[in-house]
Amino acid sequence: MKTFDVPVVYRSPLISAIKKKRKEADRMKKDFAPTLLDFGPVRIYLARHFGFCYGVENAIDIAFRTVAENPGRRIFLLSEMIHNPQVNADLVAAGVRFLQDTKGKAIVPFEELTADDIVLIPAFGTTLAIEQRLNDIGIRTELYNTTCPFVEKVWNRSEGIAQKGYSIVIHGKPKHEETRATFSHASKDAPSVVVEDMKQTIELAKYIRGEKDAAQFYTEFAGQYSQGFDLLRDLQRIGVVNQTTMLASDTQAIADYLKEVMIEKYGLTEANAREHFADTRDTLCYATNDNQTAVSGMLGVDADLAIVVGGYNSSNTSHLVELCEEKLPTYFINEEAKLLSKDTVLHYNFHNGTENVTEGYLPAKQPATILITSGASCPDALVEGIIRRLLTFYPGSKTVEEVTAQFA
Ligand code: SF4
């Protein structure tokens, strides 16, 4: 896979050494067991895969290169580059400005832009309408486009399904930049509707079966269906694609459920289900798959707690938290400072969007066993910082340098 020029400040010597060693020993990525870092009084298990993915490294590389190569020009980011506060803050410090917040609300009005400005399209991609608006101003978006190829792959998949006459059901968070971009691209080719989760899918199925009043659909799914969507016409043949960072098992369950609904409604069998349901695999990206599978591998360890590191608005990170929470106490943090002391941690509850303090999060017994992973937009340096902070709570531990040497 291509390598990128990512600022060294985001790298961690410890984690780079581990990843290199693991990769050399397992080039086909078949081993999802975690890596043990035995510091003595605390044993840390790092997931086999975590941290910056292809799309994020690509976006960071292009963004910092654009800043370096264009002194004196105004450079804007359409919205957050990736869902990591440190990376975004570093870009702002380098003089880059945001045009919109993550919900698409204007920060700098488009009217202020000129053809001389540079606008970076983020890794999630953007909508065709925004791209057109920028192009109309004279801004050449194609030159500074960091859209991840794995997101573009979803757009291509939608196009393929559309060409076969299916409408598109997108499993994703309706307000997430990537889902908005995918919805825009899919809608160009076929009637499209977004479902956020299984609960919404079950409601959608009631319209497919004719159990709910069709008029209600347009209120219930407001903002989630394409222009001109005709409930009776456009839900007869469907295919499912998803935001690349959803939980694999959720997308699978939604696709399986909708397939069953179509089989039942049209009296089909597995053999001819394709007449009404496009047979596709999920469109999760390789990083989402690897990171989620690596968490499942890590959860095989009998541990005291898990720490998941990443931006609080990061979809892929929240799914890693969800997986860990099923098994053991899990703390979602975005920087080492959130480990307030050996007794208290300030962590994020993504279910209700609040940060909470928990006391007594570290076990009294030694050695303590802690699982750690991070999202696809989280710099490894942040994870190393968290490991170093944990070690301060365990006097007599080996140093990070001593453990790094084991992986040299
Ligand atoms: S999480 Fe996947 S789709 Fe998103 S930027 Fe990374 S590689 Fe691309």
pLDDT score at 241 = 96
HEC string of the chain equals CCCCCCCHHHCCHHHHHHHHHHHHHCCCCCCCCCEEEECCCEEEEECCCCCCCHHHHHHHHHHHHHHHHCCCCCEEECCCCCCCHHHHHHHHHCCCEECECCCCCECCCHHHCCCCCEEEECCCCCCHHHHHHHHHHCCCHHHHECCCHHHHHHHHHHHHHHHCCCEEEEECCCCCHHHHHHHHHHHHHCCEEEECCHHHHHHHHHHHCCCCCHHHHHHHCCCCECCCCCHHHHCCCEEEEECCCCCHHHHHHHHHHHHHHHHHHHCCCCCCHHHCECCCCCCCCHHHHHHHHHHHHHCCCCCCEEEEECCCCCHHHHHHHHHHHCCCCEEEECCHHHCCCCCEEEEEECCCCEEEEEECCCCCCCCEEEEEEECCCCCHHHHHHHHHHHHHCCCCCCCHHHHHHCCC
Instruction: Tell me if 2 is assigned to some domain.
Output: no
Q: Are 359 and 311 within one domain?
A: yes
pLDDT score at 282 = 81
Best residue for ligand 1 mutational test, from 245, 251, 284 (most atoms within 8 Å of Cβ):
245
Catalytic status, residue 178? yes
77 pLDDT exceeds 80? yes
To 5 degrees, how large is the angle CA 186–CA 293–CA 34? Answer: 145
Instruction: Tell me if 281 is assigned to some domain.
Output: no
pLDDT band at 82 (very low <50, low <70, confident <90, very high): confident
Active-site entry in 178, 196, 322, 384 = 178
280 pLDDT exceeds 90? no
**How does pLDDT run across 370-394, given as a tens digit for each residue?**
999 999 999 999 999 999 999 999 9
One-letter identity of residue 397: S
Q: What is the pairing mode between strands 75-77 and 97-98?
A: parallel
In angstroms, the CA 190 to CA 162 distance is: 5
φ, ψ at 10 (rounded to 5°): -90, -10
To 5 degrees, how large is the angle CA 220–CA 224–CA 227? Answer: 110
- Residue 232 maps to which CATH number? 3.40.1010.20
Which pTM does this prediction carry?
0.93
Instruction: Tell me if 43 is assigned to some domain.
Output: yes
102 pLDDT exceeds 90? no
Percent of the chain with pLDDT over 70: 100
104 pLDDT exceeds 80? no
Q: Which of 275, 294, 309 is the last residue of a domain?
A: 275
Q: Are 292 and 384 within one domain?
A: yes
Q: Are 92 and 180 within one domain?
A: no
**How does pLDDT run across 12-49, given as a tens digit for each residue?**
999 999 999 999 999 999 999 999 999 999 999 999 99
- Residue 90 maps to which CATH number? 3.40.50.11270
Q: Which of 223, 245, 275 is the last residue of a domain?
A: 275
Q: Are 158 and 237 within one domain?
A: yes
Ligand 1: residues within 6 Å at CB? 53-56, 123, 148, 150-151, 244-245, 285, 287-288, 316, 376
Atom of ligand 1 nearest to the CA of 285: 2
Q: Are 302 and 371 within one domain?
A: yes
> Any idea which residue has 């803050």 for tokens?
89
- The protein residue with its alpha carbon nearest to ligand 1, atom 7, reads 55
Q: What is the CA radius of gyration of the chain?
A: 23
Q: Are 111 and 178 within one domain?
A: no
- If one counts the domains in the chain, the total is 3
**Tokens standing for residue 161:** 């399904």
Instruction: Tell me if 280 is assigned to some domain.
Output: no
pLDDT score at 281 = 79
pLDDT score at 85 = 86
φ, ψ at 254 (rounded to 5°): -65, -45
Best residue for ligand 1 mutational test, from 54, 87, 145, 319 (most atoms within 8 Å of Cβ):
54
Q: Are 380 and 306 within one domain?
A: yes
144 alpha carbon, distance to own chain's centre? 21
- The protein residue with its alpha carbon nearest to ligand 1, atom 8, reads 55
Q: Are 188 and 232 within one domain?
A: yes
CA-closest candidate to residue 16, choices 388, 383, 389: 383
Q: Are 395 and 326 within one domain?
A: yes
Q: Which of 144, 166, 188 is the last residue of a domain?
A: 144
pLDDT band at 3 (very low <50, low <70, confident <90, very high): confident
Instruction: Tell me if 254 is assigned to some domain.
Output: yes
**Tokens standing for residue 345:** 């941690």
15 alpha carbon, distance to own chain's centre? 21
366 pLDDT exceeds 80? yes
pLDDT band at 81 (very low <50, low <70, confident <90, very high): confident
101 pLDDT exceeds 90? no
Q: Are 252 and 174 within one domain?
A: yes
Atom of ligand 1 nearest to the CA of 151: 3
Instruction: Tell me if 386 is assigned to some domain.
Output: yes
In angstroms, the CA 227 to CA 352 distance is: 32
pLDDT score at 289 = 94
Range of the domain at 388: 8-53+286-405
Q: What's the average model confidence in pLDDT over 286-311?
A: 97
279 pLDDT exceeds 90? no
Residue 321: CB atoms within 10 A of its CB come to 24
Residues 6 or more apart in contact with residue 386 via CB below 8 angstroms = 307, 309, 333, 335, 336, 339, 372
One-letter identity of residue 118: I
292 pLDDT exceeds 80? yes
Instruction: Tell me if 76 is assigned to some domain.
Output: yes
Instruction: Tell me if 3 is assigned to some domain.
Output: no
Percent of the chain with pLDDT over 90: 92
Q: Are 129 and 247 within one domain?
A: no
**Tokens standing for residue 39:** 């510091």
Q: Are 80 and 153 within one domain?
A: no
CA-closest candidate to residue 290, choices 70, 32, 96, 59: 32
CA-closest candidate to residue 70, choices 114, 117, 111: 117
Q: Please provide the average confidence, as pLDDT, over all residues in the chain.
A: 95
Q: What's the average model confidence in pLDDT over 199-221?
A: 97
Residues 6 or more apart in contact with residue 393 via CB below 8 angstroms = 42, 339, 341, 342, 362
